[in-house]
Amino acid sequence: MSEYPTFRYGQPRFDQTTFSGRFRHFLDVIDPSTLFVTERRLRESVELLDRCKQGKLPPGVTDAQLWQAQKIKQAIIHPDTGEKILMPFRMSGFIPFGTPVVVGLLLPNQTLVSTIFWQWLNQSHNACVNYCNRNASKTTPTSKFVQGYLGAVTSAVSIAVGLNVLIQKASRFNPTTRLLVQRFIPFPAVASANVCNVVLMRHSELSEGISVLDDDGNVVGTSKVAARHALLETALTRVVLPMPILVLPPMIMAALEKLPLLQRQRRLVLPVHSLVCLAAFSLALPLAISLFPQMSQIDVSRLEPEIAMATNCTIVTYNKGL
């Protein structure tokens, strides 16, 4: 495949049926360079794409220019509302604005207050990102987002505080082991909160079902089975995402802090810790969201009988969400 294939308006640049294609696509989506795009550049990109859609492209415009224009527009403009997404809550801002929160979550010697604060801040940032990048093609009550947010905060804080208390009371741990174990507490807290958020936000899909599409993109019915698969895939993604971010840095820092340089220069520990968290976050985010295609496939034979009666296709697709 050439670096810039023939431009297709509204379609991903890379093949979404392969993991490598999805990974390269999401590297584009989270590219922080789009945070520095000027208003003029954004306006030019939108105008260029409008001309392309109307079939009125000026001569000399290349596929590379069109793909770049689409990348800029999709990074900044919400596809359903047409409004600009606030910079800290864009997918391209998730890593630069989320890394300080990750560093805070993984700070050693956390107090009860600091544990609650960092877990609350992390779930608040996640909630804002989820809301600003929501599917707005259908009206969703604000109460659902509030419910998901409160559930995520409650579960994250409860698990983090509960595990901290248990470890503090565990007499068989020496101080060094206790400190090491405490560094891994954020992962189960954040992972469980992420799953809780998905279930609370999308539980209605389990009873109502989600749309399934045929080869031509036509809706052939609504399936509760497909909804269960979609929620399971999304929940799994949300568990995998914090794993490298919250598990690898404590392991790496435990080794690095034994180095003579960091033993002598303790003020370097926080900057090194921050760089390790940034590297882990930058790797984990595109890997996790590339696990499953946005449009997943399922055999018709595994769905409700009425779906099989409504189409001649053997495989249908559904939007799993993020």
Same domain, 109 and 137: yes
Q: pTM surpassing 0.75?
A: yes
Amino acid 121: pLDDT: 94
Same domain, 177 and 302: yes
Same domain, 153 and 260: yes
Lowest mean pLDDT among 24-28, 173-177, 263-267, 312-316: 173-177
Instruction: Give the contacts of 219 (CB within 8 A, at least 6 positions apart).
Output: 211, 212, 213
How many folded domains does the chain comprise?
2
Same domain, 116 and 163: yes
Same domain, 201 and 226: yes
Checking if the pLDDT of 91 tops 60, the result is yes
321 pLDDT band (50/70/90 cuts)? low
Same domain, 57 and 127: no
**58-65 own/partner pairs: CB under 8 Å, 24+ apart:** 62/4, 63/4, 63/5, 63/6, 63/7, 64/3, 64/4
Per DSSP (E only), the strands in the chain are: 210-213, 219-223, 295-299, 315-319
Quote the tokens at residue 120.
């609350």
322 pLDDT band (50/70/90 cuts)? low
Amino acid 1: pLDDT: 45
On whether residue 43 sits in a domain, the answer given is: yes
- Rounded to the nearest 5 percent, the helix, strand and coil shares of the chain are 65, 5, 25
Supply φ then ψ for residue 299, to 5 degrees: -65, 135
On whether residue 9 sits in a domain, the answer given is: no
Checking if the pLDDT of 205 tops 50, the result is yes
Closest among 276, 249, 102 to 190, alpha carbons compared: 102
On whether residue 2 sits in a domain, the answer given is: no
Amino acid in position 134 = R
Closest among 148, 319, 183 to 254, alpha carbons compared: 183
Same domain, 68 and 195: no
**Which residues form the domain of 66?**
19-77
Last residue of one domain, picked from the residues 27, 47, 77: 77
Last residue of one domain, picked from the residues 77, 104, 122: 77
d(CA 157, CA 115): 8
Last residue of one domain, picked from the residues 55, 77, 99: 77
Instruction: Give the contacts of 296 (CB within 8 A, at least 6 positions apart).
Output: 229, 230, 233, 317, 318, 319, 320
How far, CA to CA in Å, does 97 sit from each of 59, 90, 102, 276? 40, 10, 10, 15
On whether residue 7 sits in a domain, the answer given is: no
On whether residue 85 sits in a domain, the answer given is: no
On whether residue 260 sits in a domain, the answer given is: yes
The mean per-residue pLDDT over the stretch 94-103 comes to: 92
d(CA 211, CA 221): 6
Which residue shows structure tokens 């990048």? Answer: 133
Quote the tokens at residue 63.
């596929």
Quote the tokens at residue 29.
């989506």
On whether residue 82 sits in a domain, the answer given is: no
